[in-house]
Amino acid sequence: MPSLIRAALVPALAMVLAVTRIALAAPADRIIHGGPIVTVNPAQPEAEAVAITAGRIVAVGSETEVMKHKGEATEVIDLGGKALVPGFVDGHSHFFSLVDVQTQALCASPPAGQCRSVADVIATLKEMHTRRKLGPGKFVIGFGYDPDLLAERRPPTKQELDAAFPDNPVILVHVSSHGAMLNSKALSIYGINAATPTPTGGVIGREPGSNEPNGLLFETAFLPIFAKVPGPDGDDAIELLKTGQELYLREGITTAQEGATMKHQVDLLRAFADRGELKLDVVLLPFIAEVDAIFAGKPPRNEPEYTNRLRIGGVKVVMDGSPQGRTAAFTTPYLTDGPAGQKDWRGDLSFPQPVLNEWVKKVYDGGATLFVHCNGDAAVDALLEAHRFASNGEPTKPRGTVGIHSQFIRRDQLEKYKAWSIAPSFFTIHCFYFGDTHVANRGRAQADFISPMKSARSLGLRPANHTDFNVAPLDQIFTIHTAVNRVSRSGQTIGADERITPLEALEAITIDGARLYGEEAKKGSIEVGKLADLVILSGNPLTVATTAIKEIKVLETIKEGRSIYTSR
């Protein structure tokens, strides 16, 4: 027992001694005071001032005590009544999407975009086609269309896209990013025709009374195309990464996730990072199908440290599709038809259970952290079965496994997450953007239990929260707002019993996000010894009216003590 105690105490004592040496060596580089400081540290929930030296926090407390660290060269920052909180830790998004949003047409409906009809979608595609001067044969690509929000309640047809773009292949990506509408030229380029079989776990829409594709592709039918969607490469992509990362910085994000990384994206991001251009930390999750290429045939493993602010932090596996796209896998039928008109539709797993089992075992055996996309309750069952299969008889052994989305998880499955140490990263922003759609597709009772933050916390789980950018806009403040209010576009409350407090919602995108990556000892709260990753806000989310949380603005983002974004 003494040796175990020593093993546990040595790292903690080392950190304390290191911080003490920093504090004794020199005065603080900067001190922040003059406004509410929300530490997200239950041992010291509030403070009057924070001192920073060499990128780390060296003092947190009363202004009198912290000012003892002030020297002649110390920069003193007065918040002027604004709020200071920990830097936001992204619970799940697709960092590389910031390249796409700069080169593709935003075809979303309000408030994310301006498309209210099929004509609006086509006009938006045409505007981008003209602005980017896309000649014959060049791909016209749009993203974010939601047929449930268009006046016609359908996407543009293949024929409409053909007429609008007779000389160009068109890919119009669904708001879920799990499917798309293609015109005839795009279908031809990818070899999809009447003889193409519908793959397991996929959807190919067909013309009435025919096997001829109507342009609609989802899940495994779309995945090979999604991996090859034309886009900028080389120096062009790196320049777009340089400007695009500002999207994350202005949202207060100091640690981001690239949530399904392909080999070419890993290479581009490493080149970008090696140039010293990354201003925030980015965690890469290689997609399971890319693991052999990314790890050069070796077992998948996490990189323990960042290199130029970039590291591999796990592996991504996809179990099912999208509830708003009606491709998420459920144990009971949808109340509406499937995306291609299927009746009594429950959705499908993306891949057969034996394949999923072997993939999870490959990740576990290699030692990497597993991040699993699962939306419907049948997909959560598949995750639990794959975890049991791959755990070598030890399903309760903590492995850091993360259930991304887990939106329609059942209570019994939530209890199994707790028993088997699986962490959910929920998606409360769905309550606003897709809550009404979920009520229509799945019914009120099931819709009210989506992203059950309160129930999870009551079991002792500490769920993170996320935007899944670019499925939803990158907006961390709105993520807090939706976790607290859970109000849909139409104004109906989606699951009043699952609302949580503003502090709990802030924890979900700070300290609980840091836990997903095993970085809670150095990120996620304002504590001595942690990195000085901080955000200055226009208001305090803990004290403003809950309905006004969404009005709060990020004024400044600070990474390791250095300002990397300011709106002032």
Q: What is the CATH number of the domain that holds 165?
A: 3.10.310
Whole-number Å distance between alpha carbons of 394 and 399: 10
Which of 65, 81, 97 corresponds to the end of one domain?
Answer: 81
Number of domains in the chain: 3
CATH of the domain at 24: 2.30.40.10
- Mean predicted confidence (pLDDT) in 347-360: 97
Let me know whether 482 and 538 are in one domain: yes
DSSP, collapsed to helix, strand or coil, labels residue 550 as helix
Q: What are phi and psi of 498, to 5 degrees?
A: -100, 10
Nearest to 501 by CA among 45, 12, 43: 45
DSSP class per residue in 355-387: HHHHHHHHHHHHTPPEEEEE-SHHHHHHHHHHH
Considering the domain boundaries, does residue 231 fall inside one?
no
Whole-number Å distance between alpha carbons of 399 and 214: 44
Let me know whether 336 and 476 are in one domain: yes
pLDDT tens for 290-337 read 999 999 999 999 999 999 999 999 999 999 999 999 999 999 999 999
Cis peptide before 375 (omega within 30 of 0): no
Considering the domain boundaries, does residue 103 fall inside one?
no
pLDDT tens for 112-158 read 999 999 999 999 999 999 999 999 999 999 999 999 999 999 999 99
- Vertex 311 angle, CA 462 and 254, to 5°: 60
Let me know whether 58 and 123 are in one domain: no
pLDDT tens for 7-64 read 444 444 444 444 444 444 479 999 999 999 999 999 999 999 999 999 999 999 999 9
Q: Domain of 54?
A: 2-81
Considering the domain boundaries, does residue 89 fall inside one?
no
DSSP, collapsed to helix, strand or coil, labels residue 221 as coil
pLDDT tens for 184-227 read 999 999 999 999 999 999 999 999 999 999 999 999 999 998 88
Question: Residue 226's pLDDT is what?
Answer: 85
Let me know whether 361 and 302 are in one domain: yes
Nearest to 435 by CA among 504, 371, 353, 491: 491
Let me know whether 201 and 273 are in one domain: no
Whole-number Å distance between alpha carbons of 49 and 69: 11
Q: What is the mean pLDDT of the chain?
A: 94
69 — pLDDT class (breaks 50, 70, 90): very high
Whole-number Å distance between alpha carbons of 57 and 19: 8
232 — pLDDT class (breaks 50, 70, 90): confident
Considering the domain boundaries, does residue 236 fall inside one?
no
Whole-number Å distance between alpha carbons of 465 and 428: 7
Q: What are phi and psi of 248, to 5 degrees?
A: -75, -40
Whole-number Å distance between alpha carbons of 95 and 2: 45
Let me know whether 70 and 213 are in one domain: no
Contact 145, 175 (CB under 8 A): yes
- Helix ranges (H only) for 133-274 are 158-164, 184-189, 223-226, 234-244, 246-249, 263-274
Considering the domain boundaries, does residue 500 fall inside one?
yes
Strand-pairing partners, residue 94, are 258
Whole-number Å distance between alpha carbons of 271 and 324: 36
Contact 252, 88 (CB under 8 A): yes
Whole-number Å distance between alpha carbons of 166 and 350: 33
Considering the domain boundaries, does residue 91 fall inside one?
no
